[in-house]
Amino acid sequence: SDSEDHLFKVILLGEHGVGKSSLARIFGGVEDLQDVEEAGNTYDRSIVVDGEEASLLVFDIWEQDDNHWLHNQCMKMGDAYVIVYSVTDKASFEKASELRIQLRRARQSEDIPIILVGNKSDLVRSREVTVEEGRACAVVFDCKFIETSAALHHNVKDLFEGIVRQIRLRKDSK
Ligand code: GDP
Ligand code: MG
C-alpha cells in the first residue's frame, strides 16, 4: 500500500478561543499546554486505528491571519475538517454553522468528512449550548458530532480516531 494513501490532511476551523490550538497540541503530543499565541502550526503524527496505522497532518492555521487567500486554501486542501465551537459560547456555535455552509459551498459535490466539535465540556456552569443542540446541528449539517474537553483530555483521542474512520469509510465505498 502506498504511504500517500494513508497521509490525511485535517484542517481545524472555528472561532478564536474555542480550543483549536489546545486540541491540536494534545494530538501532537505537546505536553506544555501554555497559552502561547502562535502564528500557526501543523502537527504530523501516526496513530493506530482499528489495528491499522494512519498518518494525520493536522493544520492549526485558520487564524494565522485574516487573509482571504489562506481561508480559501484551507477550504480546498483538507481531506477532513474539524469545526470547533465552545459549548460556553453561543456565538461560536453559530459561527460553526456558517463555516459548515462555507465548506459545503467550497467543496460542492465532494463527500468530505466533517466533525462538529463542542469543546470545553468541562465548563459545566457556563455552558450555553446543550449536547442536544450540538447533536441536532450535526444532523442538519450532515456531519459527525462529538463533545470534547481539551482541559481534561476528554474525548480528544476519540475525535482524531473518528476522523480516520470517517476517511476510511469513504475510501472503502469508492
Ligand atoms: P483557539 O483560539 O481556538 O486556538 O483556542 P485555544 O486552544 O488557544 O484556547 C483558548 C483558551 O481556552 C485557552 O485559554 C485554553 O486554555 C482554553 N481552553 C481550551 N480548551 C479548553 C477546554 O476544553 N476547557 C477549558 N476549561 N478551557 C479550554
Ligand atoms: Mg489557536
| Number of Cβ atoms within 10 Å of the Cβ of 112 | 17
Ordered strands of the 7-14 beta sheet: 41-49, 52-60, 7-14, 80-86, 114-119, 144-147
- Listed in sequence order, the residues at least 6 apart from 117 whose beta carbon sits closer than 8 Å to its beta carbon are 14, 23, 82, 83, 84, 85, 145, 146, 147, 148, 159
| Number of Cβ atoms within 10 Å of the Cβ of 101 | 11
Averaged over 160-165, what is the pLDDT? 97
68 versus 140: the higher-pLDDT residue is 140
Task: Tell how far the Cα of 22 is from the centroid of ligand 1, in angstroms.
Answer: 6
- Answer whether 150 contacts ligand 1 (Cβ < 6 A): yes
Query: Which ligand 1 atom is the nearest neighbour of the CA of 25?
Result: 7
- Residue 35 pLDDT more than 60? no
d(CA 38, CA 61): 9
Ligand 1, pocket-test mutation among 13, 15, 22, 37, most atoms within 8 A of CB? 22
Helices (H) and strands (E) in the chain, counts: 5, 6
37 versus 80: the higher-pLDDT residue is 80
pLDDT confidence of residue 68: 83
- Residue 165 pLDDT more than 60? yes
Question: Residue 1: pLDDT band by 50, 70, 90 thresholds?
Answer: very low
pLDDT confidence of residue 78: 96
